[in-house]
Amino acid sequence: MEGMSICIAAASSGGGLPWAGGLRRPPQSPKARAGTGPTWPEVARVLACLFEKDVEFQLIRPNNYKGLKRMPSLKGPRFKFRQGGEEGKMTLVDSRKICRRITEKYVDEGNKDLLGTGTLERASIERWLQTEARRFDPPSSALVLHLAFAPLMELEQDKEEIEQNKQKLNEVLDTYEKRLQETKFLAGDKFTLADLSHLPNAQFLASNDECRSLIRSRKMVSGWWDQISLRPSWQRVVEMQQEIRVI
């Protein structure tokens, strides 16, 4: 099978070893290489997709951002997906596009439901992927920045912006609560990329004292989070993140 590489041209907050979290060290060249650490939400999203598709990969650790004295951006890590062996090499930027491409490339491997099997199913998945990218990601990323990164970097938190983004998330999650009264997962009754894409930032929300109620105060959203966060693919990513934090 043709190889591929996933490169990230940015510094990472993650430290630790280049091989961690029970990654398989393949005897030959891996199908994918992922640079930077799994603590970045954008990186974690791609890693979860790779695990769901059961694609062997190598995690490469660049230098971390020790000494950085400005607020980082969770949009900072820019993934470059290069598909080798094809006429006119393809380069993709953005973790969601990379997840789509991985899913399309390895359609017969691992979880075959991530992008759906029919036109209507695929349309529903795309709809909720757009909802995540446009409505859930901006306020949740802002909360990760202000509540997780700012204290670590001894930067002042913007309390007003924190409250504004909480309110935006309340509105989005109210929509999710209604949707999940009708279906088991966002795009239907199967776990798809629409759910997977939420995992990195939702992990922070569910584990942070100031944000946990955003998830847990909604019965259907809380149950949905329990289902998607306990998937083996995401548990492996969390294990990688925890190993790096203790090294």
Backbone phi and psi for residue 48, each to the nearest 5 degrees, phi listed first: -60, -40
Apex CA 127: angle with CA 9 and CA 108, to 5°? Answer: 70
Q: What is the mean pLDDT of residues 157-171?
A: 95
pLDDT of 65 reads 42
Distances, alpha carbon 88 to alpha carbons 27, 82, 92, 100, 112, in Å = 29, 10, 13, 19, 27
pLDDT digits (tens, 9 = 90+) for 135-144: 999 999 999 9
CA proximity to 40, closest of 241, 216, 234: 241
Q: Which amino acid is at 202?
A: A
pLDDT digits (tens, 9 = 90+) for 72-107: 444 444 444 444 434 344 445 688 988 999 999 999
Residue 95, token pair as written in the block: 């973790």
Q: What is the mean pLDDT of residues 27-40?
A: 52
pLDDT of 245 reads 57
> What is the pTM (predicted TM-score) of this model?
0.78
